[in-house]
Every structure is written in structure tokens, then in C-alpha cells.
Amino acid sequence: DAYMLLMGDFNDYADSPALQLLEQHGLVNVSKGAQGSNGAKGTYRYQGDWGSLDHIFVSENLANNEHSCIIYDAPFLLEKDTKYGGVKPRRNYLGPRYLNGFSDHLPLVLRIK
């Protein structure tokens, strides 16, 4: 029973066939439903809509431990979304233009006890 952890930008949503296949083979998406505490409802925002393309999957033996997963949306990682309202990730680049930010995606944080 190996402890497995898969995480990153899967460029796909949790309900996609590819990610569902991971769950059908015993991995648990512990990031499903993760929220931020400063307004983030996903790991990225596109045209005003929050979405999550970033995921953390763990083996069942890890998922059985007490755990929590959040979107880390500290204020320094966010900026006002002047076009759609609310906040969005403070990105580093917009096309070739350097914006002195961080990323167009927010990080996930998983704590396992």
C-alpha cells in the first residue's frame, strides 16, 4: 500500500473523463470543493468565472487520514478584477507584458495528519 500523491495543473476539471478515470482507479481528489478565505472559489479565474484546473489526488490510505485542502488566496496573491468585479489571481504575465505578479493560478494547500 504505497502512499501516492499526484498534484498540479491538470488543465482539466474534476468531472472530466480523464480525472474521473483516476478516481475509478482508487485515487481520491482531496481538492474537490476547496475554497479560499479571501474570495477565491477556484484556482483560476477566466472572464469573471472561477474554475479549478489544479488538483491534488492521493491514494485511499492517505485520504483515510484526517486532512484538509484549501485554496491559498492570501491578499498579496490577489488583485481587484476591474472588469468583472471581485478579485482574481495577481498574475505575472499577460501575453508578453510583465505584470510583477505571481501566477494566473492560485496554489492549493493540503494538510494531512
69-106: per-residue pLDDT in tens?
999 999 999 999 999 999 999 999 989 999 999 999 99
Look at residue 79 and tell me if it is in a domain. no
What are the helix (H) ranges across the chain? 17-24, 60-63
17-36: per-residue pLDDT in tens?
999 999 999 999 999 999 99
Taking CA atoms, 2 is separated from 65, 95, 113, in Å, by 14, 41, 17
37 lies in which domain range?
5-74+105-112
Taking CA atoms, 65 is separated from 7, 30, 53, in Å, by 18, 11, 24
pLDDT score recorded for residue 1: 81
Look at residue 29 and tell me if it is in a domain. yes
